[in-house]
Amino acid sequence: MTEKNDIRPNQSIELLKELHILTRDGKLNQDSKRKLKQVYHLYNFIEPLLKDVSSNGSNFTLVDHGAGKSYLGFILYDLFFKDISNGKVIGVETREELVKKSEELSHKLNFERMEFLNVSVKESMTTEKLPSEIDIVTALHACDTATDDAIKFAINKKAKHIVLIPCCQAEVASILRKNKNESFGKTPLSELWRHPMHTREIGSVMTNALRCLLLEAHGYQLTVTEFTGFEHSMKNELILAKFTGSIRKNAQERSLAILEELNLNELKERFIY
């Protein structure tokens, strides 16, 4: 028996079993309860975006980067897409075995408007298998620079909405670490990353701040919020971006100033374009 209070009425029990959120006999353990709670919490953020792009009845596309086992794509399809006639979900994943398993599961469940591409985020920008414009782009825990590639993809594809949960922001931290001795003589702010643990944390915060400035420079309005409590995950920052066309005029100037002050000029190509 499933615990009905924990599962949405229109949720496919078969899907939850296939995703190992439910056991084969339809039960939830404590770990799967936590996973399901997080999935539904994220859905509450994404559902209004889906309603926005689907409201006029025209076809629309959601691309999920770093899809992994496509948990998000399957849950979105099951809760939203299967009840409408327009729209499709495309998962982008570099691991071929995960793409094949996702394809098999979508066929088994008759989720006909789900597709999966075995390419990197960077490769997805030029493939002819994707339309020239995408409505919603998601990237959840796409490691390190894959999140930045997803942002560039979204900007190039004129995405109306972007949903990001950044992860493993190692690149900025590595450059802070590499330039540490030089930075000590350049700015007293280098004290913020003098200790290795602070280097990692400051690198993470700085990465996401620069990402936000980049999106604002391209006409996106941002909401930055907590996704889950710290008791579940330390990687709990959720960035929601909506395209309004209203460009923050000093965003690029601010980015340049930050990169200069913190001795990170070699990252200009990643965060300013």
Rounded Cα distance between 46 and 58, Å, is 18
* pLDDT of amino acid 232: 45
Instruction: Report yes or no on 53 lying in a domain.
Output: no
Task: Give whole-number Cα distances, 243 to 59, 163, 192, 216, 257, in Å.
Answer: 19, 12, 33, 9, 25
Cβ neighbours around 8 below 10 Å, total? 13
Query: Is 13 inside any structural domain?
Result: no
What Å distances lie between residue 208 and 3, 172, 175, 255, CA to CA? Answer: 38, 10, 15, 12
Q: Is 117 helix (H, G, I), strand (E, B) or coil?
A: strand
- Segments in the chain forming alpha helices (H): 13-18, 30-54, 71-79, 96-108, 121-124, 146-156, 170-178, 180-186, 196-217, 251-261, 268-271
Return the half-sphere exposure (C-beta side, CA atoms, 13 A cut-off) of residue 47.
Answer: 11
**Has residue 253 been placed in a domain?**
yes
Handedness of CA 105, 110, 114, 117 (dihedral sign): positive
> By residue range, what is the domain housing residue 186?
169-220+243-273
Residue of 158, 165, 157, 189 whose CA lies nearest to 176: 189
Answer yes or no: are the C-beta atoms of 136 and 49 closer than 8 Å: yes
Sign of the alpha-carbon torsion through 181, 185, 187, 190 = positive
Structural domain count of the chain:
1
Q: Which residue's structure tokens are 């394809």?
A: 103
- Of residues 252, 257, 258, the one with CA closest to residue 272: 252
Let me know if residue 134 belongs to a domain.
no
In-domain check, residue 107 = no
Q: Taking Cα atoms as reference points, which of 197, 172, 175, 183 lies closest to residue 261?
A: 183
* d(C-alpha 196, C-alpha 178), whole Å: 12
- Asked whether residue 200 is assigned to any structural domain, the reply reads yes
Average pLDDT of adjacent 10-residue blocks, the chain of 273 residues: 69 92 84 84 95 93 95 96 95 96 97 96 92 96 85 97 88 94 94 94 94 98 81 70 97 97 95 95
- Asked if residue 111 is part of any domain, the answer here is no
Residue 260 covered by a domain:
yes
pLDDT at residue 235, rounded to an integer: 62
